[in-house]
């Protein structure tokens, strides 16, 4: 009978695929994109297992980033020096884990080459991400302890069923989780298992989540209530997001850049007031994000027409 002590499991491999882990990291960032080094850092900070054999798993992770269409590369701007690009999630990669297991997707996300929009708009993708980042940072600056959640998901609140990005950490953790051994447990039902759910972690990050360490980002003052949609052990907002979301407002247009398309991005000015509007009108950041009014308001007229939901992507099997 394994004892759920921190040391007992701290080096145990988390029940998440590299795709899941990478998506968590990306989703946890205010701008929904991270450089490779930050993805590494995120994973190592939270999963002690990955503090060892770094060469091995980091190679795998890089492989996943390149190989899977659900990850898109966002070139750095000239004023963002550093190595490598930023990585983000494809807008339409929503339902890859709808089967409830984050070890194995039911379908592989694939972008159709025929997609007329996706590959040709790196600049828009970057603009969108930058704007999203600004919006979230504005929200963070304006709000209290719950703002991370608002910042991260305010785009979705206007969506009838609620924005559900299946890669949001809170979504990954909050939803019904299928244990690697086949044992399934529900997010609303605490189970004394090796991989407990956030609501049983409390603010202690104690014995309940052995393969995850708190990062200090977690606002422990916030109640860890699944129903309320608060915070997870990852230090990111917890909100019960359901799987299978098709419209993913916080995600940029995919860039599997045709070599010629990349340089255009480099010419982007740093602050960009333009927004990409994701398809449903209600998803417009200006309409759903109340905190956006105070800074750099984006006018609808400036909205680019590259709805993420219009992207022709498909989950192939």
Partner DNA sequence: GTATGTTTATCAGCAT
Partner DNA sequence: ATGCTGATAAACATAC
Alpha-carbon distances of 191 from 178, 179, 196, 211, 241, rounded to whole Å? 12, 11, 6, 16, 20
Residues 106 to 165 in contact with DNA, rule: CB under 7 A:
106-108
Query: Quick check: 194 binds DNA (CB under 7 A)?
Result: no
Q: Using CB under 7 A as the criterion, what x/- string covers residues 79-108 for binding DNA? A: --xxxxx-x--------x----x-xxxxxx
Shorter beta-carbon distance to DNA: residue 44 or 137:
44
Instruction: Give, as one character, the DSSP assignment of residue 231.
Output: B
Closest distance of CB 6 from DNA, Å: 22
Nearer to DNA among residue 65 and residue 151 (C-beta): 65
**With binding defined as CB under 7 A, does residue 193 bind DNA?**
no
Provide the total of helices (H) and of strands (E) in the chain, helices listed first.
9, 7
User: Which region, judged by CB under 7 A, interacts with DNA, from 13-21, 145-153, 220-228, 295-303?
Assistant: 13-21
**Helix, strand, coil fractions of the chain, as percent rounded to 5:** 35, 10, 55
Q: How far is the CB of 194 from DNA (least distance, A)?
A: 16
> For the purposes of burial, counting CB atoms within 10 Å of the CB of 59, is it exposed (0-12), middle (13-18) or buried (19 or more)?
exposed
Residue 90 CA to its chain's centroid (Å): 10
Q: Which of 3, 5, 52, 63 binds DNA (CB under 7 A)?
A: 63
Nearer to DNA, 13 or 312 (CB): 13
List beta partners, residue 313.
111
Residue 244: closest CA among 153, 166, 170? 166
216 in contact with DNA (CB under 7 A): no
Closer residue to DNA (CB): 6 or 110 = 110
Q: Say if CB 175 and CB 187 are below 8 A apart.
A: yes
CA-based Rg of the chain, rounded to a whole angstrom?
19
Taking the least distance from each CB to DNA, the nearer of 35 and 198 is 35
Applying the rule CB under 7 A, the residues between 286 and 315 that interact with DNA are 315
Total binding residues toward DNA, as defined by CB under 7 A: 38
Which residues, 6+ apart, have CB-to-CB distance to 271 below 8 Å?
130, 134, 296
List the x/- string, 18-57, binding to DNA by CB under 7 A: xx---------------xxx--x---------------xx
Binding site for DNA (CB under 7 A): 16-19, 35-37, 40, 56-57, 59-60, 62-68, 73, 76, 81-85, 87, 96, 101, 103-108, 315-317
């Amino acid at each position: 009978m394994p004892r759920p002590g921190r040391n007992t499991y701290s080096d145990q491999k988390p029940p998440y695929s590299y795709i899941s882990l990478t998506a968590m990291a990306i989703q946890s960032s205010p701008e929904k994109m991270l450089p490779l080094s930050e993805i590494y850092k995120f994973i190592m900070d939270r999963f002690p297992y990955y503090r060892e054999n770094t060469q091995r798993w980091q190679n795998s992770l890089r492989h996943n980033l390149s190989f899977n269409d659900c990850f898109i590369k966002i070139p750095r701007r000239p004023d963002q020096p550093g190595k490598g690009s930023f990585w983000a999630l494809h807008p339409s990669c929503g339902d890859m884990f709808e089967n409830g297991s984050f070890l194995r997707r039911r379908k592989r996300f694939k972008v159709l080459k025929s997609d007329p929009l996706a590959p040709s708009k790196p600049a828009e993708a970057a603009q969108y991400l930058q704007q999203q980042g600004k919006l979230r940072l504005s929200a963070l600056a304006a709000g209290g302890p719950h703002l991370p959640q608002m910042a991260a998901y305010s785009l979705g609140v206007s969506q009838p069923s609620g924005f559900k990005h299946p890669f949001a950490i809170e979504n990954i953790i909050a939803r019904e989780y299928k244990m690697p051994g086949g044992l399934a447990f529900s997010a609303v039902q605490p189970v004394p298992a090796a991989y407990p759910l956030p609501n049983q972690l409390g603010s202690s990050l104690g014995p309940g989540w052995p393969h995850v360490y708190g990062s200090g980002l977690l606002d422990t003052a916030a109640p860890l209530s699944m129903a309320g949609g608060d915070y997870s052990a990852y230090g990111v907002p917890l909100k019960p997001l359901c799987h299978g979301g098709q419209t993913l407002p916080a995600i940029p247009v995919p860039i599997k850049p045709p070599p010629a398309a990349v340089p255009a991005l480099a010419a982007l000015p740093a602050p960009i007031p333009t927004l990409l509007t994701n398809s449903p009108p209600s998803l417009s950041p200006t309409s759903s994000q109340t905190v956006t009014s105070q800074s750099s308001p984006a006018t609808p007229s400036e909205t680019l027409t590259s709805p993420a939901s219009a992207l022709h992507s498909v989950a192939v099997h």
